[in-house]
Amino acid sequence: MNANHSPTRRALLAATAAWLAVGPARAQTYPSRPVRLIVPAPAGTSPDIVARLWGERFARATGQAVVVDNKPGASTFLAAQAVAAAPADGHTLLYTVNSTFSINPFVFKKLPYKSEDFAPVTRMLSVPYVLLVSAQSRVRTLADLINEAKARPGQLNYSSGGVASGFHVATARLLNEAGVTMTHVPYKDYFMPDLIAQRIDVGFDASTGAIPQIRAGKVRALAVTSARRIEALPDVPAIAETFPGFVADSWHGLFAPRGTSDAVINTLVAQSQRIVDAPDFRAALRDFALTPVGGGAEAFRRFLADDAQTWAKVVRDNQITNE
């Protein structure tokens, strides 16, 4: 019998063909069950809203549900810990903001997670901050604010969402650039009522929270932290127009546990890019004054390194700690 047609060889060839037929299908089975998307913010906040927009679209594209699991508080620790401890199979993901990786590692001596515990997937969007004063304030421009602060060193106060929060470090950086001092007033609750009532002189808020108050005539916008003016506030200058190179936007990003396969990461990147590119998604972000970004895992990794370096310097220069 010809060796090329032996039963053993025919069986081997059949088995190989079957494996080749099934192998690619297996590679395409992610996700094979519902995906748990953990968000370190309460329901109704911009990270939660955008995570749900992503989840709805990812579920439609893959046929698997996305369950958003809100774990707010503890400076994003709870959410990050939960994902770091999850199996690296792509079925538990973290949708988080800049403080998790760009600020927390430099202000807390002990963190219950490490940046190395995660695989970056994509930066979904950037979140401009808006510098605000009460609509009743005599301060009308960023120049007015700086002049007032120079005339009264340390007497003006500014709000934040807490020590070492994004608003805190962004304001610290601005004050460094301007060469002025103000008194920091950290809030556990939303500071907007006190800003409107002029119990607080000035404060940053995310565009999502600031724009409704601006449109309602309750606060005045002095500047935005993006590199350029934002579409939703075309008459409000960027801080970079006064201090070139100043950018202090927050961002939202998607992460998987360390060890997640390249195949799963690539699927997540591809699906996320389709979502970011979709006109309806971009229109939804525009409604919240958010800027879509997208891009691959390597680009996100490089961005994270640069962003962390920027905020580490601000934290060091201002001796910011949350211990």
The tens digit of pLDDT for each residue in 180-233 reads 999 999 988 889 999 999 999 999 999 988 999 999 999 999 999 999 999 999
DSSP state of 248: -
Task: Please list, in sequence order, all residues whose beta carbon lies within 8 angstroms of the beta carbon of residue 87, skipping any fewer than 6 positions away.
Answer: 257
Q: What is the pLDDT confidence band of residue 161, given thresholds at 50, 70 and 90?
A: confident
| Tokens coding 200 | 């607080």
121 phi and psi, to 5 degrees? -110, -65
pLDDT reading at 25 higher than 50 = no
pLDDT reading at 81 higher than 50 = yes
- Do residues 238 and 224 make contact, with C-beta atoms less than 8 angstroms apart? yes
pLDDT reading at 17 higher than 60 = no
pLDDT reading at 12 higher than 60 = no
pLDDT reading at 283 higher than 80 = yes
pLDDT reading at 18 higher than 50 = no
pLDDT tens-place string over residues 305-320: 999 999 999 999 999 9
What does the mean pLDDT of the chain come to?
Answer: 90
Please give the span between the terminal C-alpha atoms of the chain, in angstroms, as a whole number. Answer: 80
Q: What is the pLDDT confidence band of residue 44, given thresholds at 50, 70 and 90?
A: confident
List of domains in the chain:
35-127+249-317 (3.40.190.150), 129-241 (3.40.190.10)
pLDDT tens-place string over residues 112-141: 999 999 999 999 999 999 999 999 999 999
149 phi and psi, to 5 degrees? -65, -35
pLDDT at 78 (0 to 100): 93
For the beta sheet containing 92-97, the strands, ordered from the edge strand earlier in sequence to the opposite edge, are 66-70, 35-39, 92-97, 250-257, 118-127, 291-292
Q: What is the pLDDT confidence band of residue 287, given thresholds at 50, 70 and 90?
A: confident
pLDDT reading at 8 higher than 80 = no
- Do residues 289 and 232 make contact, with C-beta atoms less than 8 angstroms apart? yes
Q: How far is CA 258 from CA 56, 262, 278, 282, in A?
A: 25, 11, 29, 29
pLDDT tens-place string over residues 237-282: 999 999 999 999 999 999 999 999 999 999 999 999 999 999 999 9
For residue 112, cis peptide bond before it (omega within 30 degrees of 0): no
Q: What is the pLDDT confidence band of residue 73, given thresholds at 50, 70 and 90?
A: confident
- Do residues 106 and 75 make contact, with C-beta atoms less than 8 angstroms apart? no
